[in-house]
Structures are given as C-alpha cells and as structure tokens.
Structure 1
Amino acid sequence: MILHICGAAEWAEVGEGGEYRAPSLDDVGFIHCSDFGTAHLPANALYRGRTDLVLLEIDPAKLGVPVRWEDGEPPHPAGIWFPHVYGPIARDAVVDVHEFTVQADGGFELPESLALR
C-alpha cells in the first residue's frame, strides 16, 4: 500500500467511479505519494499546521497506471525514495481514507489506524 496526502474537500469531490487528479499531475507528470514510514516527512515539510488533511491508502495493483519509486527533486538528504503515481488515482484504488490529524506542535505522525498494521 502507498499513501497520498490531500485535503478532505478535494477527496470529497471525487465521485463514485471517479478519479483524483492532484495538481502535480499536470505540473510534473505524476502524483507524489509516500509509504507508511515516510508520510510524515512531506506532511511536516509542506502542510505543517493544516487541519483539513486526509491520507488516501492506495492499492497500487488497482491503479492501472505506472507507479515508480524515485528520489525527489532535489533528492531527499537521507536518500529516501518515494512512490510516484504516473496518472490519476482511481477512486476504486483507494482502499481506505484516514484522518491526518495535526499534532499540538503543528506537525504530523502516522495515524494510529495505520501505525497498528
């Protein structure tokens, strides 16, 4: 499974049988995703303090578009690679949606619903 961070309202707009298209798909050609161990990194770097986020839990086998593990641009200082989805995310590929609750310090940690797996 891979994870994607987005606003709850953005996800709510995706109808049954629809597709989610993050702005990055048009900007750079793919949708940024993470795994369970790295989702907090982009969240803390890009979304600190936001209270409207969810984590989409995605089954890559159900996407129907390529998923490539790549380094970032610029590369992550620790050499971490992230999954990039090269196409829209089909609603049917999202197996669960988890609240991504901001912590008291404004940062993020993996939700318990995912950490217990």
Structure 2
Amino acid sequence: MPSEILHITERSLWEAARESGAYTLSTRGRTLAEEGFIHCSSRQQLPAVAAFLYGSYAGPDELVVLVIDPDRLDVPLRYEAPEPGSEEFPHVYGPIPAAAVVDVEAWEPGPPRS
C-alpha cells in the first residue's frame, strides 16, 4: 500500500471537516453519500485530476491537497479504474477521519512531483 494518497479540495471545506472530525466530500460538488466513495489520487495523478476538476478555478477559497495516510483510515480503500483497462485511482469507501490527514498542502499547479 502506498505511503500516502491525496485529495484536492477547497480550504474552507477541509476546515469544516477538521472541526467535525471527518471529511465527507467525494469530489467537487458531490458528497460521499451521493457518490458512494471519496475520490483520491496518487501524487502523479494529481495534476490531471486537479485540471479536470478545477481547471482555471477562481473560487473564493484557496485549493489545498489533503495528504492522507492510508494506514489511518478505518474504512475500505480500493484501487479502481473508471472503465475497464484504464488507470486505477484510490477510492475511500467512507468518511476520512481528520486524524488520517497528515498534511495539508497549498495547491500549486505544475508538473508532477516525484
């Protein structure tokens, strides 16, 4: 299992989740209850995911990347492809405990970091 998985979101949404103890948004504009899981990515997948979801985002909030320790999750983590034969992405099947988020990074678009 990788040492980290990532999720991009708006800072205010993360701050609210931190106060409540768990993060429950699946992706931009969709909740865990609506989607059934929380979309995450690897460090290499993040730039493409961010571009797809946020493009030239000009919202009121700064975008942040939640760095999640899979070993701190108390719900299933599965790697799944959106369609057969395509790249697999990490999906978290339940709320992400705030304690599983080990770092919060400001999102800075650019090439993938190694």
User: Which TM bucket (shorter chain)?
Assistant: 0.7 to 0.9
Number of residues paired by the alignment? 104
In the alignment, which of 20, 24, 34 is matched to residue 21 of structure 1?
24
Q: Deviations over 1:32-54 (max 9, x none)?
A: 00001101111111101125210
Q: Percent identity?
A: 41
Q: Residue 15 of structure 1 aligns to which amino acid in structure 2? A: R
Tell me the TM-score normalised to structure 2 length: 0.81
Q: Give yes or no for contact 1:17–1:92 (8 Å, CA) kept in 2.
A: no
Q: How does 1:3-82 map to 2 (within 5 A)?
A: 3-16=6-19, 18-22=21-25, 23-50=30-57, 52-72=62-82, 75=83, 79-82=86-89
Please provide the CA RMSD for this pair.
2.1
Structure 1's consecutive aligned runs of 4 or more residues displaced over 4 angstroms after TM superposition are none
Give structure 1 stretches of 5+ with no counterpart. Answer: 102-107
Q: Summarize deviations over 1:10-29 as a string: whole Å, max 9, x none.
A: 01112357001103411120
For residues 96 and 110 of structure 1, do their structure 2 counterparts lie closer, same or farther at Cα, with a shift above 3 Å needed? farther
Q: Conserved in 2, the CA contact under 8 Å of 1:39 and 1:110?
A: no
Q: Are 1:109 and 2:110 matched, yes or no?
A: yes
Structure 2: unaligned runs, 5 residues or longer:
none
**Greater mean alpha carbon deviation, residues 8-17 or residues 48-57:** 8-17
